[in-house]
Structure 1
């Protein structure tokens, strides 16, 4: 917000505020919706582990890879135009998500929705900052913006759970999906909100800050492609393994592109990121914990969604309630955290928050996962206490990260430090489900291999059939049993096996269904226990690292109040 903005005399200030507040709530609603629906997606789309990861991670990828450029484009060409584009893209993404009948369609919808939200987050913040004179008034307006962002995070899981429960048509899952029922209604509501935002924005004031601004196109392209390649490799490793040629090639390509990005940034006059910031050790530490700490947070969120909704088969509304305990504190404690940041050294607030997140991860890693509650699995209500700790930790850390970062740099670098820290924080968010899935599903597949071979061999299936069925990941046996049976019988018949023999093998396989699915759930449960443990360790490391930031660096700096408030606002997910 360090740029001087030119504000149009046309339009209404009130409409600008309403449009901006509605836009950020919309962006956060669409961002958080999949968190409560991962179990539903696994069951309805019969998706693989990689597919489920793409659904969860693609939205954040759409935000992360372009977020430094959307605000700049708004500065150059007018923020109101970008808000129009963001609202329209959100309509398209939400409608496509509601109509999705396959994993691929849902991933594409998430990519479009992520781009829409990636536009709305920075543009809505810039619009209200531009029309609000004075630091105090601007801080109040941005705090309200942050409240609507957090409110969207609370509304989203409730909306997902209620629509899944209230609007579900009995028996719809057995045939073609009813695109006007269940969880899909939540996405239609999001699309309707986007249309309302678009209508309100017609009366909003426009603003821009084009002076001295230039898009670093080579830097943006190499950063975007590099991050996409690395994230793609990690997601594909969920099903293909880290040793596959495709995964290795993607990591190599991503590494080359990111090195090229660094070279470009050191040579351009107006870089996307000022790499000189990282010569400051305090800022570098803050950047590290922005990634590791937020990775821990979203890894726990994603693992909870899959463990409770996908493995324990809890209804979507129960998962939604759990996410209210995660997201609610960030909304409820906005005034408290704001007071703490301004009266206590933010690094201590940060350390306390990461410590709470670490306790949450360690606590959840002790839960027995993978068995439905109806068959003796962990009750969904047992997740509430550790998830409340996670929510409290998130409330303390999400704004404090940037507050510490901007107070470790020179005043003239505050704007770039804030933007760069936000990028690193959002990268941590994107890595949460991606790396978490890679850990959980690879561990689950390894644990599942032995019991599955024993069950199939005990059922009397021949060695070649056992070998073929052992290639199916454990999630496949939980979410796509009918497809596995059909594919198995089709391949056996195509291979020349007599029809009577195939029928016998299918009957033997079906008789072992409960045993196989029990072993698959237990194996994946152990995988997600490891993810919770890794998240706890990441949060612990983050808490320890923040202790090495000097007290002087984390003291509130003169003139940084507005930037700190903006940091708190932009930070919540």
Structure 2
């Protein structure tokens, strides 16, 4: 009887843990897509231009990209519960800062804090879940549920953003995080158990700082270059600083015993090609998504609520197709699935570049859906390919690098496609023409990458092992978590 009660208590604890970790990741993923629906209202109420909107998005993505891998190490060294709840508190407090922001500067500062919180919360939630399920099959099932449920946030974001913004204005999209965060903290403090990995590697502080500064300097130059002038001393200085900081980062990482980014991994062709393709996926996916609501509102005259609903086909397609991508890669190989996915996504983006103000929605939604299906087919298999390129002990590290490269691509996508739009407008073209050019540019880069993966992504045996299985269980979109702290144990 006592044994039965103990098992029941254990299952109850695991169910509660699953609910808490899923809800935390749901909040993070919701914030990825909910902001896009509110960008037109932010632009109107904050009296900002395209540059300001780019910073609202990239300030968050940049911090997630650069701190995601360190977040997993922090969780292992200092306690997964502690880091998870700290991430929740920071993310929730930052959401309040964003909602109350009186100016664009305050909003961007809040978004930076949100990125820091998300970079701690996301990997720690997955580490907590994995530590509570030591049996591989149970762990895979739990992570599958974690990915599937939290992925609902991706689809809910555009709709929730449209409804809240239309009814209450853009601050409401951040206030929705407050009750979620408070529930997570109150319940988590009482019911979550602490765990840590005493053999976790040391935190690479120099590498983390240099990576943030290097990508931050590059992003600043790309976003501000259109407004300040590409030959401005400040812009030229930011590009020079980015190059110097990147060189310093490479030098530091090459000498450290436990670097955050082991450069030797890029000696494997499969690892290098898959991560290069992942940068492009982040670039095209996030860069194009940044403009969807703006297209529907400013070009086609939709309301903010309707625009949120109109962008839904891509999110739904990703949520539905993502769970099957890993299985298809296991059956047909990474090269076939990734190349087909990139070709679909690239073709869909080019097709979106042909949409105009008078194009009926019946001729638009399927293009968004094709883009969603294409990217869904690439994300998990690309991570699986990176994992297969390294030793089993380094599978978690490879997964973390893959997540980080995608986020870096996302930062660059918002910045560079914004450059395309501003350049076209400076040449006298309309905002509609600028958006069309941005979609075509994103599609062309994605199609070119499809050719590269078709030629260079090595043929692979059906994916095996828990690390790859993790990636095939649910939608792998921003942020897909850093499994470094999970799979490497």
Deviation at 1:346, TM superposition (A): 2.2
**Paired position in structure 2 for 1:433:** 414
Taking the aligned partners of 2:335 and 2:384, their CA distance within structure 1 comes to: 9
**Paired position in structure 1 for 2:453:** 546
**Paired position in structure 1 for 2:467:** 562
- 1:14-69 Cα distance to aligned partner (Å, 9 max, x none): 33211111000001111222111221212221212211111121111120111111
Deviation at 1:222, TM superposition (A): 0.8
Do structure 1's residue 530 and structure 2's residue 446 form an aligned pair?
no
The 5 Å alignment of 1:293-304 reads 293-304=281-292
**Paired position in structure 1 for 2:58:** 57
- 1:423-442 Cα distance to aligned partner (Å, 9 max, x none): 10111122221111111112
- 1:466-511 Cα distance to aligned partner (Å, 9 max, x none): xxxxxxxxxxxxxxxxxxxxxxxxxxxxxxxxxxxxxxxxxxxxxx
Residue from 447, 455, 461 that aligns with 2:428: 447
SS class of match (1:97): helix
**Paired position in structure 1 for 2:266:** 278
Taking the aligned partners of 1:324 and 1:112, their CA distance within structure 2 comes to: 28
Taking the aligned partners of 1:134 and 1:548, their CA distance within structure 2 comes to: 39
Taking the aligned partners of 2:393 and 2:52, their CA distance within structure 1 comes to: 44
Do structure 1's residue 345 and structure 2's residue 330 form an aligned pair?
no
The 5 Å alignment of 1:120-519 reads 120-165=121-166, 167=167, 181-202=168-189, 203-368=191-356, 377-380=358-361, 382-447=363-428
- 1:269-296 Cα distance to aligned partner (Å, 9 max, x none): 0011110011112211111111112211
Checking the alignment, whether the CA contact within 8 Å between 2:159 and 2:309 is kept in structure 1 is yes
Taking the aligned partners of 1:37 and 1:381, their CA distance within structure 2 comes to: 24
Change (3 A) 1:310 1:87: farther
Counting matched residue pairs gives: 467
SS class of match (1:187): helix
Q: What 5-or-longer segments of structure 1 have no aligned partner?
A: 1-8, 168-180, 370-376, 449-522
SS class of match (2:231): coil
Query: Normalization by structure 2: what TM-score?
Result: 0.91
- 1:400-437 Cα distance to aligned partner (Å, 9 max, x none): 11011111223233222111111101111222211111
Do structure 1's residue 90 and structure 2's residue 91 form an aligned pair?
yes
Q: What 5-or-longer segments of structure 2 have no aligned partner?
A: 1-9, 479-489
Deviation at 1:569, TM superposition (A): 5.0
SS class of match (1:87): helix
Checking the alignment, whether the CA contact within 8 Å between 1:445 and 1:524 is kept in structure 2 is no
Checking the alignment, whether the CA contact within 8 Å between 1:24 and 1:149 is kept in structure 2 is yes
SS class of match (2:199): coil
Taking the aligned partners of 2:287 and 2:351, their CA distance within structure 1 comes to: 14
SS class of match (2:124): helix
Larger Rg computed on CA atoms: 1
Taking the aligned partners of 2:208 and 2:458, their CA distance within structure 1 comes to: 35
Deviation at 1:381, TM superposition (A): 5.2
Taking the aligned partners of 1:343 and 1:55, their CA distance within structure 2 comes to: 41
Checking the alignment, whether the CA contact within 8 Å between 2:341 and 2:377 is kept in structure 1 is yes
What is the RMSD of the two structures over their aligned residues, measured on CA atoms?
Answer: 2.0
Taking the aligned partners of 1:423 and 1:117, their CA distance within structure 2 comes to: 13
